[in-house]
Amino acid sequence: MHQHHNGLKTAALFGVLWAVLLGLGALIAAGTRSAAPIWAMALIGVATTAYGYWNSDKIAIRAMQAYPVTEAEAPALYGIVRELSARAKQPMPRIYLSPTMAPNAFATGRNPQNAAVCCTEGILQMLDARELRGVLGHELMHVYNRDILTASVAAAVAGVITSVGQMLLLFGGGDRRNSNPFAMIAMAVLAPFAASLIQMAISRTREFDADEDGSALTGDPLALASALRKIERGVQLAPLPQDQRLVNASHLMIANPFRGGGARKLFSTHPPMSERIARLEGMAGRPPG
């Protein structure tokens, strides 16, 4: 697992994210002679992140208008999830379906004991059983790798940086005799931008990890590669609307659910599909193509 050292990349990106926060805090402390603003924003960030972390499954399921299904209603889906959960020696998650033709899937929950798996009706119609198994292996590994916690912490730190940057723009740096106004403005603008980029980079490394670990769980990386090709085409034909609730939950999904290119791809929480597929084909020993 982790052939591309994604765990180390995640740790390094977190280090950079914390360095940005500490640098911003040092700049404010130099201007105000007080670290109180940083602590206040940090506490707010921790509180909002804790709520999102503990309720991540409910928030995402509500955003997708998903409904629970029984084994009698979705026997094939239950069978795949049960087999993979047993293989990973983890408890069986709750199963949901989302009534949309946009092809996608996600798994969420703060731990394996409180996990939920959701597939759209579109992805069930688009993929065969082997491809769906590859997708579900990927999604379950997000839960087993505690990626919800990772994403929550990254979002909290990035949120604090953005809030502090906005405070700097609105109120300045306090005692101007002890601060450089140009440095304040630069940090106020650049720090939130940098934090957002780092947060997206962390999300991308977790996607690569889930691809690799999910394929190790299923033993079939080419099934996931084939599924990703179909999903990418399907999203272009049936993207989700740019509703803010869906935007907030989109990082959980196996593919970016919105149509777009150019700058939107640059700022996507998902790696380029072509790169993901090439890595999966490399795992299977097949030349990318």
Q: Does 264 or 199 have the greater pLDDT score?
A: 199
pLDDT digits (tens, 9 = 90+) for 77-107: 999 999 999 999 999 999 999 999 999 999 9
Rounded CA gap, 100 and 122, in Å?
6
Helix axes 181-218, 6-32, angle to 10 degrees: 160
> Which region among 72-76, 147-151, 268-272 has the lowest average model confidence (pLDDT)?
147-151
Question: What's residue 37's pLDDT?
Answer: 62
* Cβ atoms of 33 and 239 closer than 8 Å: no
> What pLDDT, on a 0 to 100 scale, did the predictor assign at position 9?
67
DSSP string, 205-237: HHHHHHHHHHHHHHT-HHHHHHHHHHHHHHHHH
248 membership: H or E segment, kind and range: helix 244-249
Over residues 4-30, mean pLDDT: 70
Q: Which residues are catalytic?
A: 139
Strands (E), the chain: 67-68, 94-98, 105-108, 116-120
Give 181 or 210, the one with higher predicted confidence. 210
> Is the pLDDT confidence value at 288 over 60?
no
More confident residue, 131 or 248: 131
DSSP for residue 139: H
Contact 66, 118 (CB under 8 A): yes
CA angle 97, 280, 148 (to 5 degrees): 45
Q: What phi and psi, each to the nearest 5 degrees, are found at residue 285? A: 80, 15
Token digits of residue 66 = 């998903």
Query: Mean pLDDT lowest for which of 30-34, 44-48, 87-91, 218-222?
Result: 30-34
pLDDT of residue 128: 98
Q: Alpha-carbon distance 54 to 227, whole Å? A: 30
Q: Work out the angle at residue 68's Cα, subtended by the Cα atoms of residues 270 and 207, and round it to the nearest 5 degrees.
A: 15
Q: Tens digits of per-residue pLDDT, 162-193?
A: 777 766 666 555 555 555 566 666 666 777 77
More confident residue, 203 or 92: 92
The structure's pTM equals: 0.79
Higher pLDDT, 38 or 14: 14
